[in-house]
Structure 1
Amino acid sequence: MDGTNRQILIYTGLRRPFGIELDTTNGYLYWTSIYSDKANIERVKLNDLSTRTALVKTEMEVTYRLVLAATDGKMYWCDSWNKVIEEANLNGTNRTTIATGLDYPFRIDIYGNYLYWTDSGVIYRVDITTGESSIENFFSIESMDVGANETINVIP
């Protein structure tokens, strides 16, 4: 594979696409658009590119990352500008906020029953199956001096 057979899927009307995710169960491609008054989350059916739809398109600013839990019918994202972690159904309905008042959430992922995210040197997690609102400080970097000594202090 050398990239000579690559294919452009979508090139019109994109506003800085950033995070992409594939829903292989249902055959969709999802992506986030960032840094715009039109920041949003969109999707398109992979076998029918005319099905492009904006799913979440209000109160969004800088959404770098999107993660899908397709078998549960959910998507999760972090908005670094609005300082929130949010979720919605895969069709964009039932949007809810999981965490607010964050510093700068940047990365997000799912493993097992937990949703993990980074926020200014801290890794957080929350159990997404229980519906509990408690957020756990899973891992913290107290200080980082990347240089000659490459010192990283970790607090469990």
Structure 2
Amino acid sequence: MRAYRNGTNIKVVAENGVISPTDVALDFAGGNVYWTDSVAYVIRVARMDGEYSRVIVREAEHIKPQGIALDPENGFMYWTAYWTAYWGNGAKISRSAMDGSGSKTLVNTTEGLKWPQGIAIDIQGQRLYWCDGGFHRIMSSTLQGGDVTDVFSITGLSPGYFGIVVDDSYMYWTAWALDHITRD
């Protein structure tokens, strides 16, 4: 859905084929809205007015796309996903062209993923940041998936990290079990 910033003029942007939208990202220059659908196992794109909605990535059954981040300047889309059938035995960070072509896995469970959720791009620093709700940490890698780093973790607490954004100086994140938004 979309609305003006004051909450008025609410409009359904897409509904056909949408089951459980999880995350959303905008390509302002291209005029497109992208979203993950964790129950349909797909990533979809449509014009910002909802026209021309279509599936651009179809994951295998039980692979739930979660977070999505766009790098329109370089023409890439990044997303997180995990296997629901194996809870923690299969997870990945992937990248493709913004039309969904050329999909490849950048980071997987061998690099310490469990339930990756939100994902953000630091264009200036050329790094990805993501939340892992299963291992209770925030991680980072290069845009090509190298140099995987544990940025921040909480031991003894299960906050369920979920959403993340970054700017030039900070990262901000949300967690299911915390009653506040955090900045580091």
2:100 & 2:68 partners in 1: Cα distance?
13
Q: Hey, what does 1:28 align to over in structure 2?
A: 32
Asked whether the equivalents of residues 14 and 53 of structure 2 are also in contact (C-alpha less than 8 Å), the reply is no
Alpha-carbon shift at residue 47 of structure 1 (Å): 5.2
TM value normalised by structure 1: 0.80
Asked whether the equivalents of residues 25 and 71 of structure 1 are also in contact (C-alpha less than 8 Å), the reply is no
**Matched AA of 1:124:** M
Q: Deviations over 1:68-122 (max 9, x none)?
A: 1111111111103241111111000110101111211112111131100122212
Q: Hey, what does 1:135 align to over in structure 2?
A: 148
Q: Hey, what does 1:108 align to over in structure 2?
A: 119
Unaligned residue ranges in structure 1 (runs of 5+) = 151-156
Q: Hey, what does 2:171 align to over in structure 1?
A: none
Aligned match for 1:10, one of 8, 14, 22:
14
TM value normalised by structure 2: 0.69
Q: Hey, what does 1:154 align to over in structure 2?
A: none
Number of positions where the alignment pairs a residue of Structure 1 with one of Structure 2 = 142
**Which structure has the greater CA radius of gyration?**
1
Unaligned residue ranges in structure 2 (runs of 5+) = 84-89, 160-177, 179-184
RMSD of aligned residue pairs (Cα, Å): 2.2
Runs of 4 or more above 6 Å deviation:
none
Q: Hey, what does 1:65 align to over in structure 2?
A: 67
Aligned match for 2:78, one of 76, 87, 91:
76
1:48 & 1:108 partners in 2: Cα distance?
24
